[in-house]
Amino acid sequence: MDMTHTPLFRTKAYVGGQWISAKSGHTVPVDNPATGEIIGHVPDLSGADTRAAIIAAEEGLSRWRETSAAERADLLLRWNQLILDNAEELAAIMTLEQGKPISEARGEIQYGASFVRWFAEEARRVYGETIPAPTADRRIIMLKQPVGVCAAITPWNFPNAMITRKCAPALAAGCSIIVKPSELTPFSALALAALAERAGIPAGVFNVVTGMPQEIGAELTGNPTVRKISFTGSTKIGRLLMEQAAQNIQRVSLELGGNAAFIVFEDANLDAAVAGLMASKFRNGGQTCVCANRVLVHAKIYDAFAERVSEAVKALQVGSGLSGDVTIGPLINGAAVTKVREHVEDALDKGARAVVGGRSHPLGGRFFEPTVLTDAGWDMRLAQEETFGPVAPLFRFETEDEAIRMANNTPYGLASYFYTNDLNRSWRVAERIEVGMVGLNTGSVSMEVAPFGGIKQSGIGREGSHLGIEEYLATKTFHIGGIS
Ligand SMILES: NC(=O)C1=CN([C@@H]2O[C@H](COP(=O)(O)OP(=O)(O)OC[C@H]3O[C@@H](n4cnc5c(N)ncnc54)[C@H](O)[C@@H]3O)[C@@H](O)[C@H]2O)C=CC1
Ligand SMILES: O=C(O)[C@H](O)CS(=O)(=O)O
């Protein structure tokens, strides 16, 4: 499927309402993870190019912050509708550059659009407060105002939804924003820019800069005009950006790595638990920050659960995401394949058994076999590190306290899941597990209505829900004295 000549497949960066090249003329190639073929090039913008984008965003802000909430809401709703009207083309572009199965890409477009609609509605409900003054001659009002020029640095694994989850609340709040998508998946971001332009979102309000990240990131975090950095990606880069943002005391929102525990207690509904694990673990081939990374199974049901999971994993179809029946696409790049292979080999060396898969797929390239490992141990790398691939390691436990202790034994704290029908245990586990999001008898926690985010080294701040817009609002206390 050649998407490179479709209207939304853009090969220029979008700054100040213009489609631009890098001043240097340099470009970055983008490949198709399923084949390794180059699908196109995007401008490799420099620090100076990024400075120009910041100036454009500042000009965009001056107009945008004066628009009414109703006007911003209407424009966001128009953008939302254009995204939905062009969902098939957006999904095909995503699968071409990211590799996920087309059915999942279609799902992400709907998920991404849901944030645009949600924050179009939130735009009109940014309320301030009046505060009872201590003296009769004073009035106190709390105003909510846009933070200003913002920057969003986003990952390759959800190249549409991670942009709208940041940009929709920013625009709803009256901010302008500069998006730096992953150099691995820029075309989804540029397609969103084309639709923002078509929706009538004014020049400079929504900008997309492309290229290698270091120089662009240094300018975005080093330029005092940028008042807010919103990042989704690895904890390593999140830490770096937080350090860089400190120089100008920029506000930061960080959605970072995870190491989710998926706990199956002895009284769990096994069919539901298997379905939940398949949904959590193998979505996007396991390249998801909230996916189950460690599967803790009570000893009493371990063998039965392992057998059922193995049957379900054997039914997964590996191949190019553009093929309709495929449920597991390629990993994003060679480094990802190496990391997954190393995790599996380390586990096998330390006593795990591969009851399904366990090696690169016969298709070769970036395809890896969906894998189930039994007898997983806490000394294995995949217990401590985020695998970010289609590998389900099954760990045994005997007691509830042991399961919670092991689940919490990680520097991360993004999401966890557990299956039980015991009401008292449900509350004990939900309250004691150290994460930002926990699912009981469900393998999914990601939707626009609910706060998304982590604790510990999984991040700072919340996206989505009624909390998401607060990340792009500043509070101003307005005191009026001398009233008689
Ligand atoms: N908590 C969450 O919602 C999510 C967390 N992640 C985590 O991110 C990792 C995988 O995603 P990746 O895209 O590989 O993460 P990554 O951290 O390498 O890249 C994320 C973004 O940061 C940019 N970046 C990299 N180095 C930079 C620098 N020096 N300055 C400025 N920007 C820079 C990249 O170009 C990309 O746009 C995994 O650890 C995963 O768990 C990914 C997606 C969502
Ligand atoms: O990038 C990710 O992993 C996303 O945050 C996961 S989700 O929001 O699509 O579940």
Structure tokens given for 310: 């193995």
Best of 232, 241, 386 for a ligand 1 pocket test (most atoms within 8 Å of beta carbon): 232
Between the alpha carbon of residue 153 and those of residues 60, 89, 339, 433, the distances in Å are: 19, 23, 23, 29
Q: Average pLDDT, stretch 114-122? A: 98
Task: Specify the ligand 2 atom closest to the Cα of 258.
Answer: 3
Query: Does the global pTM surpass 0.95?
Result: yes
Best of 231, 289, 337, 447 for a ligand 1 pocket test (most atoms within 8 Å of beta carbon): 289
Q: Which of 293, 296, 299, 263 is nearest to 392 (CA)?
A: 293
Q: Is the CB of 288 under 6 A from ligand 2?
A: yes
Q: How confident is the model at residue 3 (pLDDT cuts 50, 70, 90)?
A: confident
Q: Average pLDDT, stretch 281-294? A: 98
Task: Provide the pLDDT for residue 1.
Answer: 65
Q: How confident is the model at residue 2 (pLDDT cuts 50, 70, 90)?
A: confident
Which ligand neighbours the alpha carbon of 254 most closely?
A: 1
- What tens digit of pLDDT does each residue of 376-405 get? 999 999 999 999 999 999 999 999 999 999
Element (H, E) at 11: none
- What tens digit of pLDDT does each residue of 444-463 get? 999 999 999 999 999 999 99
Q: Average pLDDT, stretch 50-62? A: 98
- Residue 464, judged by CB atoms within 10 A of its CB (0-12, 13-18, 19+), counts as buried
Task: Provide the pLDDT for residue 4.
Answer: 77
Q: Average pLDDT, stretch 37-51? A: 98
- What tens digit of pLDDT does each residue of 58-68 get? 999 999 999 99
Q: What gap in Å lies between CA 164 and CA 109, rounded to an integer?
A: 10
Backbone angles phi, psi at 23, to 5 degrees: -55, -35
What is the whole-number distance in angstroms between the Cα of residue 290 and the centre of ligand 2? 6
Asked whether the beta carbons of 258 and 293 are under 8 A apart, the reply is yes
Between the alpha carbon of residue 241 and those of residues 221, 249, 250, 255, 470, the distances in Å are: 7, 12, 10, 12, 21
What is the whole-number distance in angstroms between the Cα of residue 232 and the centre of ligand 1? 6
Q: What gap in Å lies between CA 305 and CA 216, rounded to an integer?
A: 47
Task: Specify the ligand 2 atom closest to the Cα of 287.
Answer: 3
Q: Average pLDDT, stretch 462-481? A: 98
Quote the mean pLDDT of the chain.
Answer: 98
Helices (runs of H) and strands (runs of E) counted in the chain: 14, 20
Whether 116 has a pLDDT exceeding 80, the answer reads: yes
Q: Which of 302, 195, 216, 206 is nearest to 44 (CA)?
A: 216
- What tens digit of pLDDT does each residue of 414-442 get? 999 999 999 999 999 999 999 999 999 99
ipTM for this model: 0.95
User: Residue 448 catalytic?
Assistant: no
Report CA Rg, the chain: 23
Best of 156, 166, 232, 289 for a ligand 2 pocket test (most atoms within 8 Å of beta carbon): 289
Q: Which residues, other chains included, contact 366 with Cβ-Cβ below 8 Å and sequence gap of 6+? A: 33, 34, 36, 99, 330, 331, 332, 333, 334, 336, 337
- Angle of helix 47-64 relative to helix 213-222, nearest 10 degrees, comes to 50
Between the alpha carbon of residue 453 and those of residues 116, 147, 152, 446, 475, the distances in Å are: 18, 20, 16, 10, 22
Write the single-letter amino acid at 249: I
Q: What gap in Å lies between CA 73 and CA 201, rounded to an integer?
A: 11
Which ligand neighbours the alpha carbon of 156 most closely?
A: 1
Whether 216 has a pLDDT exceeding 80, the answer reads: yes
Q: Average pLDDT, stretch 262-269? A: 98
Task: Provide the pLDDT for residue 428.
Answer: 98
Task: Specify the ligand 2 atom closest to the Cα of 155.
Answer: 1
Whether 73 has a pLDDT exceeding 80, the answer reads: yes
Whether 149 has a pLDDT exceeding 90, the answer reads: yes
Asked whether the beta carbons of 321 and 25 are under 8 A apart, the reply is no
Task: Provide the pLDDT for residue 5.
Answer: 87
The two beta strands, 260-264 and 292-298, are parallel
Q: How confident is the model at residue 325 (pLDDT cuts 50, 70, 90)?
A: very high
Q: How far is CA 125 from the centre of its chain?
A: 25
Whether 373 has a pLDDT exceeding 70, the answer reads: yes
Please, what's the b/e burial string for 442-463 (b: 16 or more CB within 10 A of its CB; e: otherwise)? ebebbebeeebbbebbbbbbbb
Collapse the DSSP code of 291 into the 3-class scheme (helix H, G, I; strand E, B; otherwise coil) and give the result.
Answer: coil
- What tens digit of pLDDT does each residue of 156-191 get? 999 999 999 999 999 999 999 999 999 999 999 999
Q: Which of 271, 83, 262 is nearest to 160 (CA)?
A: 83
What is the whole-number distance in angstroms between the Cα of residue 236 and the centre of ligand 1? 8
Element (H, E) at 482: none
Q: What gap in Å lies between CA 160 and CA 110, rounded to an integer?
A: 10
